[in-house]
Structure 1
Amino acid sequence: MSISVSIIEDDQNIVDQLITIFGASSLCRIQGIAVNGEAAQQLIVSHPTDVFLVDLGLPDADGVDLVEQIKRHDPHAHILVLSTFGDAKHITRSIAAGARGYLLKDEINNDLIKKIVALHNGGSPLSPAVGRVIVDSLSNQTPGSVCQVPEANVAEMYQLSPNEVVTFKHLCAGLPITTIAAMMCISPHTVNQYLRHLYRKLNVHSRAMAVAKAQKIGFNYEH
């Protein structure tokens, strides 16, 4: 089954380019196209879609607001930003709003199909320049000045259940399994079940890796 893709973009040249790219592939199909904010809002609520391609620079809407609206309407939708903006502010706002990929428009080519498939399968395609901005932003932070991300955002980002979020916090705080079980009023066996699900969703394989992931994303696990 092909991946359904909705396009939110006001530049007709970019739209035509995307139509050509998708028309040459059997892996993706265009579900809908919106060229302004009003049409985008209608598209979001009326056309269930696997992947949304969102332009940030619409004439009558903030693309980041549309990203947030997509995630509220369908938390499972995948969002890929296509933008001319490559600065840290636009990138971080988009990711915080729910985008899981960010590509610059001058890099749109036939490889876009592969990147959409990767996004649909859980990946986070980024333009090299965007990746550098993110790394530079992180490296410029002073020690201990990690931006704290709310639990709800972490839960949405990795599709964690409430119990998995609590387990994540206790695990990163260094508590042993038996203590976690006692605090959550469950058995150690159940804690281990939560941990297996947690490790799989975070794509880690140990407590140390989970702590490193928490620090990387700014998850506040202090009690």
Structure 2
Amino acid sequence: MINVMLADDEQLLREGVRLVLRHADDIEVIAEAGDGAEAVRIACEHPVDVALVDIRMPGTDGLIAAEQLAERAPAVKVVMLTTFGEQEYITRALRAGAAGFLLKDSGPQELIHAVRAAAHGGAILSPRVAKDLIDTHVTPADGRSVKAQRLVDTLNDRERDVLVLVGVGASNAEAARLLYMGEGTVKTYVSRILAKLGCANRVQAAIIAHDAGLLPTG
């Protein structure tokens, strides 16, 4: 069972998400929070696997909450809830180790898939925002590109191929099909890549791929 916490100051949205997740027999919403501070406290006191956290909340917002959760409850996978057009907030959450981003108007199946993917260590980037977020809002700062290139240099050619597909948001199944590998083999490569790059999740690996200039620009 995947234990989920909902953190959003809008009760109506929390109730809607709870109703959607109730249709998944392997997911249970065990807690709700109205702001970031309450979300951090709950995650530290209860067995939360995935936290769905709104970016904009009064008081302690979702960005601060994501940073605090990364320090105080690193086992919790944080998925940021956002509306299209809020990309300027997302770089900071990526750096804090958020597992991904989900648009608030996402469909029920996308929401359920996101929770399951996050719980199993996957990255969740809504298809409508993924490429735009990385290309537009994760621009290498001075020195970061060089550091990313050095990290990428530790990978062999096949690992780089897998990293590129991780960087553009491909799932393990999609990468397996494109690289003519077994899905289990891709999963092993991804784990190895994360270890070599020192990344907590696929989103952070995607940032390094972007900073190192490995991703297509079109």
- Structure-2-length-normalised TM-score: 0.65
Once residues 85 and 94 of structure 1 are traced to their aligned partners in structure 2, the CA distance between those partners, rounded to angstroms, is 15
89-98 vs 105-114, which deviates more? 105-114
85-94 vs 49-58, which deviates more? 85-94
Residues 1:171 and 2:154 aligned together: yes
Q: Which residue of 2 aligns with 1:119?
A: 118
Once residues 169 and 23 of structure 1 are traced to their aligned partners in structure 2, the CA distance between those partners, rounded to angstroms, is 41
The Cα shift of 1:169 comes to 7.6
Alignment RMSD (CA, Å): 3.7
CA shift in 2, pair 1:133/1:42, >3 Å = same
CA shift in 2, pair 1:64/1:135, >3 Å = closer
Once residues 25 and 19 of structure 1 are traced to their aligned partners in structure 2, the CA distance between those partners, rounded to angstroms, is 10
Percent identity at matched positions? 27
Counterpart contact for 1:36–1:60, Cα < 8 Å: yes
| Equivalence map 1:1-223=2 (5 Å) | 2-84=1-83, 86-137=85-136, 148=144, 171=154, 200-202=191-193, 216-218=209-211
Q: Which has the higher contact order (CA 8 A, sep 6+)?
A: 2
Once residues 38 and 111 of structure 1 are traced to their aligned partners in structure 2, the CA distance between those partners, rounded to angstroms, is 27
Structure 2: gaps (5+ residues):
156-187, 196-204, 213-218
Q: Please give the per-residue CA displacement for 1:147-190, whole angstroms capped at 9, x wherever unaligned.
A: 728x8xx9xxxxxxxxxxxx958736xxxxxxxxxxxxxxxxxx
CA shift in 2, pair 1:133/1:146, >3 Å = farther
Q: Please give the per-residue CA displacement for 1:106-164, whole angstroms capped at 9, x wherever unaligned.
A: 1142331112111222221111232132243279x6xx877728x8xx9xxxxxxxxxx
Aligned residue pairs total 172
Q: Please give the per-residue CA displacement for 1:34-93, whole angstroms capped at 9, x wherever unaligned.
A: 012342232122113111111011111121110011111122221100122533321211
Once residues 207 and 14 of structure 2 are traced to their aligned partners in structure 1, the CA distance between those partners, rounded to angstroms, is 38
SS of the residue corresponding to residue 4 of structure 1 reads: strand
Amino acid at match of 2:89: H
